[in-house]
Amino acid sequence: MTESTKSILVVDDDRHMRNALQEAVTRIGYRTVLAENPADALDKLDGISVSMIVTDMKMPGMDGLAFIKEARKKMGSLPILVITGYATVENAVEVMKEGVCDYLMKPFSFDSLTGAIESIMLRGSHNGREIITDSEKMKKLIQLAGNVALSDMTALILGESGTGKELLARFIHKSSRRSKKPFIAINCAAIPDNLLESELFGFEKGAFTGANEKKSGKFELADSGTILLDEIGEMSAILQAKLLRVLQEKEIDRIGGKQPVPVDVRVIATTNRDLLKEMEGGKFREDLYFRLSVFPLQLPPLRERPEDIKMLAEHFAKRFSLELNKTVSGFTDEALEFLAARKWKGNIRELENAIHRAVLIAGSEYICVEDFMLDEYPSQCRMDNGSLKDMEMDLIFKTLEETNGNKTKAAKVLGVSVRTIRNKLNGHGKIFPAG
């Protein structure tokens, strides 16, 4: 092992489990830092840099969820693998909300553990770091984004869904002097307006009924780092005014707070709406628009950079082949033509999902057109409902096999919700191990 070998923090109160985890981690080439309980782990996080946390959920002193929240405050977007014997769907969802990367249920096999760790580490080294492109337009944009990164300016990233807005935002963060500090993303469209304010700015104890203790908002959690306000076009007029104040004064008002709290945060906003139009229609504040759009970064849709399709497809094939333990090494010419001819309305995300599924079902070293067939149904292969269902169940079982029965992972691979998978499995009658 070299000096630069990455370390993984392992937190478990059970000594035997800790040792087993250490052995697994060491065997796949990472160092371990061991902690017996959350308090010990949080102490250790202060002194050393780790690339990932593997933690138990039920431990003395502090439960796993509280620990994850604390660790997030210290480490920002560090990948976390949760291990638990007490899983219910509810706390799985709760834990996933904290940005936990994966979830393993006891008892698990050695292979499913090392598989989960390797897949997370792999994602970590690809996701958010590497922007793959061969297009001149994109190269210019990345250069511009690099310049924005060096300044402390607010940036506005525009682009259709799936064009890489979040990836570019992470690139700016990683290339900035704030790179070691938190990167916190919040989706303004996903949170109801009345909750969004407390999510962003936090509240004091007693600020409203149910505010039993003080809570920091995302701006405070992102202090000295970067906050990504995703889908800013969805923000209400009242919050737009509050955000403008934050940008101007560099301080936030907690709900129920007596005085403003200073924050040092770079704001990056994204939208797939035409903000100029929204502004003209009176839906978006003009002053906020001009404040945000000092550096508009426009991501071109995939159809405007066709030269990227092959490069991205090969990149994703390589990545998923490794992740899924396959030996796919490329595409047939016909498959490449097929990819080049598609419209890609969902842009890179759609391409990524298509390749993911194709790698999963590929039966040989080269992905062929048939491996994309599922994306096309029901329009192209006119099957009756029954065989369509069979095929769907086949795919679900195949995916569950690949993910060692991990439904959360399978849901991600297939681009559906965990609930959908559960419902389909329930309706099907075949028993699959819990997970």
Ligand X SMILES: Nc1ncnc2c1ncn2[C@@H]1O[C@H](COP(=O)(O)OP(=O)(O)OP(=O)(O)O)[C@@H](O)[C@H]1O
Q: Which residues bind Mg ion (CB under 5 A)?
A: 165-166
**Other C-beta atoms within 10 Å of 147: how many?**
13
Q: Smallest distance, Å, CB 121 to ligand X?
A: 16
The number of helices, as runs of H, and strands, as runs of E, in the chain is 19, 16
Is 119 among the residues that bind ligand X (CB under 6 A)? no
Pick from 114, 179, 236, 272 the residue near ligand X by CB under 6 A: 272
Name the residue nearer to Mg ion (CB basis): 165 or 170.
Answer: 165
Q: Which stretch binds ligand X (CB under 6 A): 13-21, 162-170, 250-258, 416-424?
A: 162-170
Query: Bridge partners of 215?
Result: 203
Q: Smallest distance, Å, CB 126 to ligand X?
A: 8
Pick from 142, 153, 167, 191 the residue near ligand X by CB under 6 A: 167
Q: Smallest distance, Å, CB 169 to ligand X?
A: 8
Binding residues with ligand X: total (CB under 6 A)? 17
Pick from 127, 216, 236, 293 the residue near ligand X by CB under 6 A: 127
Q: Smallest distance, Å, CB 230 to Mg ion?
A: 5
Q: What is the 3-state secondary structure (H, E, C) of the chain?
A: CCCCCCEEEEECCCHHHHHHHHHHHHHCCCEEEEECCHHHHHHHHHHCCCCEEEEECCCCCCCHHHHHHHHHHHHCCCCEEEEECCCCHHHHHHHHHCCCCEEEECCCCHHHHHHHHHHHHHHHHHCCCCCCCCCHHHHHHHHHHHHHHHCCCCEEEECCCCCCHHHHHHHHHHCCCCCCCCEEEEECCCCCHHHHHHHHHEECCCCCCCCCCCEECHHHHCCCCEEEEECHHHCCHHHHHHHHHHHHHCEECCECCCCCEECCCEEEEEECCCHHHHHHCCCCCHHHHHHHCCCEEECCCHHHCCHHHHHHHHHHHHHHHHHCCCCCCEECHHHHHHHHHCCCCCHHHHHHHHHHHHHHHCCCCEECHHHHHHHHCCCCCCCCHHHHHHHHHHHHHHHHHHCCCCHHHHHHHHCCCHHHHHHHHHHHCCCCCCC
Name the residue nearer to ligand X (CB basis): 167 or 211.
Answer: 167
What residue number has its CB nearest to Mg ion?
Answer: 166
Is 164 among the residues that bind ligand X (CB under 6 A)? yes
Name the residue nearer to ligand X (CB basis): 163 or 321.
Answer: 163
Residue 332 site contact among Mg ion, ligand X, none (CB < 5 to 8 Å, cut-off depends on kind): none
Residue 159 site contact among Mg ion, ligand X, none (CB < 5 to 8 Å, cut-off depends on kind): ligand X
**What Cα–Cα distance (Å) separates residue 393 from each residue in 317, 424, 429?**
23, 8, 11
Q: Smallest distance, Å, CB 74 to ligand X?
A: 25
Residue 127 site contact among ligand X, Mg ion, none (CB < 5 to 8 Å, cut-off depends on kind): ligand X
Q: Contact, 220 vs 263, CB < 8 A?
A: yes
Is 133 among the residues that bind ligand X (CB under 6 A)? yes
Q: Smallest distance, Å, CB 410 to ligand X?
A: 17
Q: Smallest distance, Å, CB 305 to Mg ion?
A: 18
- Vertex 164 angle, CA 98 and 422, to 5°: 45
Is 353 among the residues that bind ligand X (CB under 6 A)? no
Is 132 among the residues that bind ligand X (CB under 6 A)? yes
Pick from 131, 142, 153, 336 the residue near ligand X by CB under 6 A: 131
Q: Is the peptide bond before 260 cis (omega within 30 degrees of 0)?
A: no
Pick from 165, 173, 285, 409 the residue near ligand X by CB under 6 A: 165
Q: Smallest distance, Å, CB 347 to ligand X?
A: 7
Q: Smallest distance, Å, CB 216 to Mg ion?
A: 24
Is 162 among the residues that bind ligand X (CB under 6 A)? yes
Residue 352 site contact among ligand X, Mg ion, none (CB < 5 to 8 Å, cut-off depends on kind): ligand X
Q: Which stretch binds ligand X (CB under 6 A): 74-82, 127-135, 191-199, 242-250?
A: 127-135
Is 159 among the residues that bind ligand X (CB under 6 A)? yes
Q: Smallest distance, Å, CB 81 to ligand X?
A: 19
Name the residue nearer to ligand X (CB basis): 254 or 319.
Answer: 319
Where do contacts with ligand X occur on this chain (CB under 6 A)? Answer: 127, 131-133, 159, 161-167, 272, 312, 348-349, 352
